Each structure stands twice: as structure tokens, then as C-alpha cells.
């Protein structure tokens, strides 16, 4: 019996979906996390796709897609609409606090949070929760979010044939 590549559950049939650019076979429960990939019944099937082409679009010429066309776009999933915290959030918090003339303790009291949390945030030891992030943004007048939406044209790297590996796509923090 096939196994879901996301949760590991054994199910009688799997659905091919694209989740954050990766095409995997998942159970019906996990299929909600991505967009279903439609494949032609006569096409050759591969377990893993390195093609960076769009979900739902198929190449009729039989040549692999390079993903460089600006008209192509991958399917959207629930993670596309999420915002990511900026890389320099610790520096932004510290500089905004200092420019407001507040100590860590004063800022913590005004936000109804512990001063140790402010210290950890400014040192980059901890990420702010959504509620703390909102409080900081309002109080200090800063933005700690950046849009996580990224289309295939933003990716650089890959081989000359236009195919990508996981190393070309993943950003290390």
C-alpha cells in the first residue's frame, strides 16, 4: 500500500500535489496544503520532478520547461500568503527602541512583556510571536515583516537546462 510522502500514512491512493515548488504524492488530508498537479495519462511519470515549470501547465513539445518565462508561475499554496520576519529584526528593534529613548525595561513595561524577552529579541536569540511582533511594530513604528511570495523568476541558479536542485531553491538562514 502506498505511503503519503508528507505524513507517512498508508492509503490506497495518492494525489500528486505541488507544495512550495516540490511535487510530491500525498494523501487526501495532506493534499490541502498544496495545489493538485494535473498530469496527462499518456505522459511518463516520475516520482520526483526537477522541472521548475508551472503546476498545471504541460509542455506539448516534449521539451523540458526552463521556467524562465515571466508568464509561467507555479501554483499557489497556503504558505504563499504568509509573511516572513526580516533577517535584521534584532537590529531594527534595538535601533527603534534607542531612537525612541527607551530602555529595554521601559519598552517591556509599555508592551506588557518581560524585559528578558526584549533582550532576547535584540540579541537575535528568539523570534517574536505574532502578538509581540504586532505590539513592537505599533509601538516603535517599524515593520518586521517581508512578503514571502516568490515566483519562479526570482530563483537564480540551476543548470543550463533550466532544471533546479533543492540546493538552488533553499535559502539558508
- Residue predicted with more confidence, 123 or 38: 123
Reported as a single tens digit per residue, the pLDDT across 31-51 is 888 888 876 544 444 444 444
Cβ-contact 74, 151 below 8 angstroms = yes
Reported as a single tens digit per residue, the pLDDT across 78-122 is 666 667 888 899 999 999 999 999 999 999 999 999 999 999 999
Q: Average pLDDT of the chain?
A: 75
In the prediction, which pLDDT does 77 show?
65
Q: Which of 13-22, 37-46, 140-149 has the highest mean pLDDT?
A: 13-22
Q: Sorting pLDDT into bands at 50, 70 and 90, what band is 156?
A: low
What pTM does this model have? 0.44
Cβ-contact 57, 82 below 8 angstroms = no
Residue 76, exposed/middle/buried by CB under 10 A (0-12, 13-18, 19+)? middle
The domains of the chain, with CATH numbers, are 1-80+157-164 (no CATH), 83-147 (1.10.260.40)
Amino acid at each position: 500500500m502506498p505511503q503519503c510522502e508528507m505524513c507517512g500514512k498508508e492509503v490506497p491512493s495518492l494525489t500528486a500535489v505541488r507544495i512550495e515548488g516540490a511535487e510530491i504524492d500525498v494523501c487526501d488530508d495532506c493534499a490541502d496544503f498544496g495545489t493538485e498537479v494535473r498530469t496527462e495519462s499518456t505522459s511518463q511519470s516520475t516520482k520526483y520532478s526537477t522541472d521548475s515549470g508551472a503546476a498545471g501547465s504541460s509542455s506539448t513539445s516534449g521539451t523540458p520547461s526552463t521556467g524562465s518565462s515571466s508568464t509561467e508561475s507555479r501554483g499557489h499554496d497556503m504558505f504563499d500568503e504568509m509573511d516572513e520576519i526580516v533577517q535584521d529584526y534584532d537590529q531594527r528593534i534595538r535601533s527603534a527602541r534607542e531612537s525612541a529613548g527607551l530602555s529595554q525595561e521601559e519598552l517591556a513595561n509599555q508592551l506588557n512583556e518581560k524585559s528578558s524577552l526584549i533582550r532576547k529579541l535584540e540579541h537575535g536569540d528568539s523570534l517574536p510571536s505574532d502578538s509581540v511582533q504586532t505590539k513592537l511594530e505599533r509601538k516603535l513604528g517599524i515593520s518586521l515583516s517581508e512578503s514571502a511570495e516568490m515566483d519562479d523568476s526570482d530563483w537564480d541558479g540551476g543548470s543550463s537546462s533550466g532544471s533546479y536542485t533543492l540546493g538552488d531553491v533553499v535559502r539558508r538562514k
